[in-house]
Amino acid sequence: MSQTVPAATDVADRSALSRHYLMCRPEHFTVVYRINPWMHPQVPTDTALALQQWQSLYDTYDRLGHTLELIDPIEGLPDMVYSANGGFTLDGKAYTAKFTHPERQAEGPAYGDWFRARGFEVHEAREINEGEGDLLLVGDAILAGTGFRTSIESHAELARVFDREVVTLKLVDDRFYHLDTAIAVLDPEGADANIAYLPEAFDGASRAVLQRRYPDAVEVSAEDAQWLGLNSISDGSNVVIAAKAKGFEASLRERGYTPIGLDLSELLRGGGGVKCCTLELRIAR
């Protein structure tokens, strides 16, 4: 499938917005269990390389002028580096994660304690959800994934906490088990909020919803998605992506964005990329 790009006359001027991110150093990163198709415990991991690659992401955000905070890593929680899964924040409220797999369940309370200590109004999840892995703010709506990890029941809970429209989307390819592996939020705010996505990661009804809501979206190829190219972070102008997602990179340039390709290949061994390592903090205004 080819990338969908606009005509040259459609290229827009892009303005970068300063963002606020929470990250976790991968000091204990390794792959010792298998809870997604990317994980192969029999293949040795290199924690030092994971730290080096993570640092390049941190330094990129710092160079772009974003505000960065850190949560302390906990020994025995090797996936804690994927901070996006730690919860969902909006309007000064934090909705905590409640993980599917026992291997990650201790992460939810750890992130909840961090939110509470930083003054967020914390709402403890009763339903299974994996934070911004499956919950993405696009404009005034929250796109909410289900199918592999986050339960559909959590979508109603989310709507009650934040009083926002929640749009349910069903994932059907287990390689793209979280919504943030199949959708990238390109323009997070305003009437022009837009996305990039992999159509075949969704069932037919969800594809129809995405086509209707985002007619100008970038459709990304499976070839780029397999590098977790869509697991990216945009400030509205600069888009940090997987370096190997070359087709997606070209599409972004066509649209007037500035793509920044990084190598997070060691962290990909755990099934995560740029976005997985990045939780957005949205303080009350």
Q: Mind telling me the catalytic residues? A: 178, 276
Residues 6+ apart with CB under 8 A from 192: none
- Angle CA 169–171–176, to nearest 5: 130
For residue 209, the SS3 value is helix
CA 187 centroid distance within chain: 14
For residue 55, the SS3 value is helix
- Strand order of the β-sheet with 258-262 is 233-234, 238-242, 258-262
Spatial distance between the Cα atoms of 130 and 151, rounded to a whole number of angstroms: 9
Give CA separation, 225 vs 88, 127, 186, in Å: 23, 28, 15
Do residues 165 and 140 touch, judged by C-beta distance below 8 A?
A: yes
The token pair that represents 251 in the structure block: 């599409």
